[in-house]
Amino acid sequence: MDLKDKLISSFMAFEDNVDVEHPVHDVRTEAIKNFEHKGFPSKKEEAWKYTSLNSLQKIDFSIFPKQENAIEYKDVKKYFIHEIDTYKIVFIDGVYSSHLSETTHDGVDICLMSSALTKPMYKQIIDVYFNKVASNDESLTTLNTAFSREGAYIYIPKNKMPKKPVEILHFATGNEASIMLQPRNLIIVEENAEVQIIERHQSLTSNDVLTNSVTEIFAAESAIVDYYKIQNDTANASLIDNTYVDQKGKSHVKVHTFSFGGKLTRNNLNFFQNGEFMDSTMKGVTILGEKQHVDHHTLVHHIEPNCESHQDYKGIYGDSSTGVFNGKIIVDKIAQKTNAFQQNNNILVSDKATINTKPQLEIFADDVKCSHGCTIGQLDEEALFYLQSRGIPKKEARALLMYAFANNVLESVRIPELKTRINKLIAKKLGVNLGFDL
């Protein structure tokens, strides 16, 4: 049985475990119909031209974890930003781990989607926000919607800010062969409120893991959201990340994506600007080797006037790795005075590495500033010689140049300990110890 059939036939079993009377279940039912109709995207579709899900669909994934698996904190401590105090929402094989988590209801809600989707006290909010910005058309998103049950739920009321950043961690233990996970996150940041979130998916197994995640983020007027995605998973772990951001006026939302690992990673990052005087920022550092594949698909839809968007993606591709950047910007006719900036720079450090980069601008307004640029190059030999002539060995010199190339993306990371961690991951990925704190 292929994965699509397996998922569809599993839906009935899934229904045994959720409240089918809850209005959310109507959304799920509709979604599974959509998925059944569309199936997995194929390479024939323009948006999936360079990313094939075929081989993943041949793997016999377990759809539901059969038991709760325990992990000791000491064994996974390194995956947390443990240098600082954080709220933690932790899942093991898709199941919430109270043991590893630290949630709160103290002025803000940092807790579980399963609670939000079932408890009456959240019903009003779920009615207003659940599946309201996520696509009902994109098949992988609808697949996630159909099976939406668990994930992170974060609600920050007006003028509030949690005392510390929030970490969302998903571990896959592989205790029962290959596993498919479908976390569903809902993040609501009310007027003038603020939150910082760090998300990571980590496999602890050599078995295959496929995560199809959907995150909906609602940023109200003047809200500030900083979202950091650390993608440094193992060689058998694949991730399809579908993130949808609904922004209101004067809000600031930044999503940083650090892609250093995994087998196949697809980031579908969608911003909808429903208001004026806001900005949306998408930044990414991608450093790949071996046969890794990362596909960044971004969309910014400028719906109202006087807004900004900034995209800056840097990629370094070695070995036989492949990368894709597809940045779509839509500027509606009334969205005058839009300032949209997009930049994608890549370095190929191997003859076998590939990058496909494509800006896609659809501009219907006439008084806008939209700039885009993409470059694909090699390391500057003259710069390499310059560093070597100062006694820096070739390998370190190359790493230093690659680091320098990616560096400006890190400037906007506002959690210093996270920045240090990313720097260390970069140094490790580049295979060097540069001897100073980058």
Q: Which residue ranges make up the site for another protein (CB under 8 A)?
A: 380-383, 385-394, 396-397, 400-401, 403-408, 434-436, 438
Residue 220 or 387: which CB sits closer to another protein? 387
Residue 191: other Cβ atoms inside 10 A: 17
Residue 107 or 393: which CB sits closer to another protein? 393
CB of 381 to another protein, least distance (A): 7
First to last CA, the chain: 49
Residue type present at position 318: G
Residue 169 or 392: which CB sits closer to another protein? 392
Cα separation, 438 vs 428, in Å, equals 12
Pull the structure tokens for residue 346. Answer: 């890549």
- Which 3 state secondary structure label does DSSP give 410? helix
Residue 399: other Cβ atoms inside 10 A: 22
CB of 372 to another protein, least distance (A): 20
CB of 402 to another protein, least distance (A): 10
CB of 398 to another protein, least distance (A): 12
CB of 184 to another protein, least distance (A): 37
CB of 345 to another protein, least distance (A): 12
Cα separation, 264 vs 298, in Å, equals 17
CB 325 within 8 A of CB 288: no
| C-alpha to C-alpha distances, 354 to 68, 289, 325, 360, nearest whole angstrom | 40, 11, 11, 20
**Run of H or E including 141:** helix 139-146
Residue 106 or 381: which CB sits closer to another protein? 381
Residue 120 or 391: which CB sits closer to another protein? 391
Residue 227 or 405: which CB sits closer to another protein? 405
Cα separation, 257 vs 228, in Å, equals 6
CB of 95 to another protein, least distance (A): 42
Cα separation, 330 vs 178, in Å, equals 39
Give me the long-range contacts of 36-42 (CB less than 8 A, separation at least 24): 36/4, 36/8, 38/139, 38/142, 39/4, 39/139, 40/3, 40/4, 40/139, 40/140, 41/139, 41/140
CB of 429 to another protein, least distance (A): 16
Give the list of residues 6+ apart from residue 391 with CB closer than 8 angstroms, or none.
Answer: none
C-alpha closest to that of 290 among 83, 429, 131, 117: 429
Give the list of residues 6+ apart from residue 149 with CB closer than 8 angstroms, or none.
Answer: 14, 17, 18, 113, 114, 117, 184
Angle, alpha carbons 283-289-294 (nearest 5°): 45
**What letter does residue 122 receive in the DSSP assignment?**
G
Residue 107: other Cβ atoms inside 10 A: 11
CB of 373 to another protein, least distance (A): 16
Cα separation, 352 vs 363, in Å, equals 36
Residue 98 or 436: which CB sits closer to another protein? 436
CB of 437 to another protein, least distance (A): 8
Residue 308 or 396: which CB sits closer to another protein? 396
Residue 358 or 419: which CB sits closer to another protein? 419
Residue 333 or 390: which CB sits closer to another protein? 390
CB 392 within 8 A of CB 430: no
Residue 13 or 404: which CB sits closer to another protein? 404
| C-alpha to C-alpha distances, 297 to 158, 185, 292, 356, 400, nearest whole angstrom | 31, 19, 17, 11, 28
- Which 3 state secondary structure label does DSSP give 87? strand
CB of 399 to another protein, least distance (A): 10
